[in-house]
Amino acid sequence: MEQAFFKDEKSHKGLLIVISGPSGSGKGTVLSRVFERRTGLFYSVSATTRAPRPGEINGQHYYFLTREEFEEKIKAGGMLEYAQYCGNYYGTPRRAVEEKRAGGLDVVLEIEVQGAALVKKACPDCVTIFIAPPSKEELERRLRGRGTEDDEVIKKRLETAVSEIEHAFDYDYIVVNDEVEKAAEKIDSIITAEKCRSSKYKGL
Ligand code: 5GP
């Protein structure tokens, strides 16, 4: 039996990958491609107080909670982070993230900018990636094309999107989503590189 200098990557604790991007940046589509491209990822299902969109399933897209339930969970320390976004609470349940990382899976959080900043503070070893739409016009086209929100909501989301883009430089990486496949490939490469960081081998 040969003795390896370094333990296999599979025995490392999983990465914590934080992905943000304004609604309409196409981050959902890009992320689905990333999940098809590589194994060992775990998507953290968030909790929210917003109403489900048609086709959204409780426990799969989100855990849909009432404001009271959400606030209870905050009080009990059950949220790794949470934020208010367009009038609703959104938060990351802590337990699944910790358990999956300990089991070696790379955990992906798809969260907005305030939450991402909180995670970076609490877990400085996390990897933060900002997915940006190619232009304001394309962002608006994508938001309207979804056809699930009325004009007022779209206007609010557009305003929020523009202010979110100003936070892009707080992230470790920026990926412009002008083409889904290319954006997915870049994220895949970022994850691969992060797993090779020498610091990940310390203490093994
Ligand atoms: P949507 O209502 O379009 O599903 O999500 C609105 C925003 O909330 C998106 O930017 C999404 O990434 C973000 N979001 C989803 N889950 C969480 C979460 O657990 N925490 C935080 N801070 N933001 C979240």
The structure's pTM equals: 0.92
Ligand 1 atom nearest residue 116's Cα: 22
Does the residue 65 lie in any domain?
yes
What's the domain count of the chain? Answer: 1
Find the length of the chain: 204
Does the residue 91 lie in any domain?
yes
Residues 6+ apart with CB under 8 A from 34: 41, 108, 184, 187, 188, 191
Where is pLDDT greater, at 154 or 167? 167
Does the residue 2 lie in any domain?
no
Query: Which residue owns the Cα nearest ligand 1 atom 9?
Result: 112
Ligand 1 atom nearest residue 44's Cα: 19
Task: Tell me which residues have their CB closer than 6 angstroms to ligand 1.
Answer: 23, 46, 50, 81, 83, 85, 90-92, 110-112, 115
* Per-residue confidence band for 204, with pLDDT thresholds at 50, 70 and 90: low
Q: How far apart are CA 96 and CA 103, in angstroms?
A: 10
Which residues lie across from 110 on neighbouring strands?
A: 19
Q: How far apart are CA 45 and CA 7, in angstroms?
A: 30
User: Does position 152 have pLDDT exceeding 70, yes or no?
Assistant: yes
What's residue 151's pLDDT? 86
Does the residue 3 lie in any domain?
no
Neighbour tally for 51: CB within 10 Å: 8
Annotated binding-site residue numbers: 21-28
Does the residue 60 lie in any domain?
yes
Residue 105 is part of a domain; what is its CATH number?
3.40.50.300
Handedness of CA 22, 32, 93, 100 (dihedral sign): negative
Q: What is the rounded average pLDDT of the residues 39-58? A: 97
Site to substitute for ligand 1 among 57, 90, 146, most atoms within 8 A of C-beta: 90
- Structural tokens at position 90: 């959104």
Does the residue 115 lie in any domain?
yes
Does the residue 61 lie in any domain?
yes
Report the mean per-residue pLDDT for the chain. Answer: 93
User: Does position 9 have pLDDT exceeding 80, yes or no?
Assistant: no
* Per-residue confidence band for 1, with pLDDT thresholds at 50, 70 and 90: confident
Query: Which residue owns the Cα nearest ligand 1 atom 2?
Result: 50
Domain that includes residue 120, residue range: 9-201
Which range (69-73, 119-123, 198-202) has the least confidence? 198-202
Does the residue 4 lie in any domain?
no
Query: Which residue owns the Cα nearest ligand 1 atom 14?
Result: 111
